[in-house]
Amino acid sequence: MILQLILACSKDPTDDTGDQDPPAIAPTWDAEAAELVCPADAPAPLLDAALLDAGLSRELVAYDDASWQGASYADVLDDPFVLPWFRALHWDALRIPCAARQLAADLDHAAASAHPVATALGEAMARLAEPVEAAPIDPSTAVQTLADLSDLPPDLAAALTPILAAIEAVGVARDRMSETAPAPEDDLVSYGHGGVLVGYDSAPDLTDSAVQDWILGRTGPRRLYDPARVLAFAVEEADLGQFAGLDVTFSATTPRGQIVIAGPGDDAPGDIGNAAFYLDLGGNDTYVHPAAASNRRVPAAVHVDLGGD
C-alpha cells in the first residue's frame, strides 16, 4: 500500500502515457493443425490377414522404380506437373490413408480458424511445396493508393485500406507474371463470366520445357499465390460485418477496377462489369454482373454482401 501511494504521488500529473492504448499487435497467419500420429507398425490385424492371404506383407504394398517404369502410364505420371508428394506416397502406399486423414484434419482446422479462406490457401500452398514468403498486412500501418476514401466514415476507411492494398499487390504480381509469360495473355486464357478459363487446346504448349519452367517457377502463376492469400486474410481480418446496415454509398474507378459500396437498401446495379471490390451493406439485391470474377483489366475481384437476399 505504501509503495502504491509513493508511485501515485510521484507520477507527473501532465504525463498521460499510462492512459494510452497499448500498441496494436501485427496480425500473423493462423497456426497449423496438429500433425497426426500414424505409426507404420500400428496394429491392423484385418489388414495383415488380408495381406497374408494374398501372399504379401506391409513392406510389399508399394511401388518401386522397376514396377513404376513397367506401368503403362509411367510416362504420363512421371512428368513435371505431378504433385510433389505423389511419388513418396505411392512408394509407401500404406501411408495414403494417414495422408488423407491429415488433409481432412488440416481443412477442418482451416474452416474453424479465424481466417478460413487464407488458412485453406496456406494448406494448398504447402501441398504444392510452395514457400510462404509474404506476411499478412498490418492494418495499423497499411497504406493504399487505389482510391480516395476520405469521404467514408474513418473506421470503414481504415477497414478497407488493407484490402485495397492487397488488391493492388495482386495486380502488381499479375503484371510481372504477364511480363515473363511465354505468350500474350489473350492467347493464354479466356475470361468467362465466372473468371479465368485455361485453354488447353491453345497456348501455352505445356510440353515445352520453357513453358513448364514458367508455370512451375516463381515468375509464372505461382507468383500470385502469396498475394492472393494476403488478400483473403485482409478481407477476413477486416470484420466487415460490423458495418452492416450503415447508410453509406461510394464508387470509384481505379487502375485495378471499380470500387463500389452499396447502401443498406435493395440494390440492382445492373451489368456494371467486373468490379475489383464490391461491398453491399444490406438489403435484397439483384446482381447480373460478374460478381467476384476477375478479367484482364481486373486482376483481383472481391464481392462481399452483408445481408438480405
What is the mean predicted confidence (pLDDT) over 116-121?
97
What pLDDT is stored for residue 4 in this prediction?
34
Is 251's pLDDT higher than 90? Answer: yes
Measured from the Cβ of residue 270, the count of other Cβ atoms closer than 10 Å reads 10
What is the mean predicted confidence (pLDDT) over 161-173?
97
What is the mean predicted confidence (pLDDT) over 44-54?
92
**Backbone phi and psi for residue 121, each to the nearest 5 degrees, phi listed first:** -65, -35
**Which of 30-39, 178-187, 195-204, 279-288 is predicted least confidently?**
195-204
Model confidence over 198-244: pLDDT tens digits? 555 566 788 888 888 988 988 888 999 999 999 999 999 999 999 99
Q: How far apart are CA 246 and CA 110, in angstroms?
A: 30
Cβ-Cβ contacts under 8 Å for 68 (sequence gap 6 or more) = 74, 77, 78, 90
Is 169's pLDDT higher than 90? Answer: yes
Residue 196 sits at the vertex; the CA angle it makes with 195 and 200, to the nearest 5 degrees, is 150
Across the chain, mean pLDDT equals 86
Cβ proximity of 263 and 249 under 8 Å: yes
Cβ-Cβ contacts under 8 Å for 24 (sequence gap 6 or more) = 138, 139, 140
Percent of the chain with pLDDT over 90: 57
What pLDDT is stored for residue 15 in this prediction?
53
Q: Cell numbers for 158, please give them.
A: 481504415
Q: What is the DSSP letter of 59?
A: G
How many residues are recorded in the chain?
309
What is the mean predicted confidence (pLDDT) over 103-125?
97
Cβ proximity of 137 and 166 under 8 Å: yes
What pLDDT is stored for residue 82 in this prediction?
87
**CB-neighbour burial class of residue 279 (10 A; exposed 0-12, middle 13-18, buried 19+):** buried
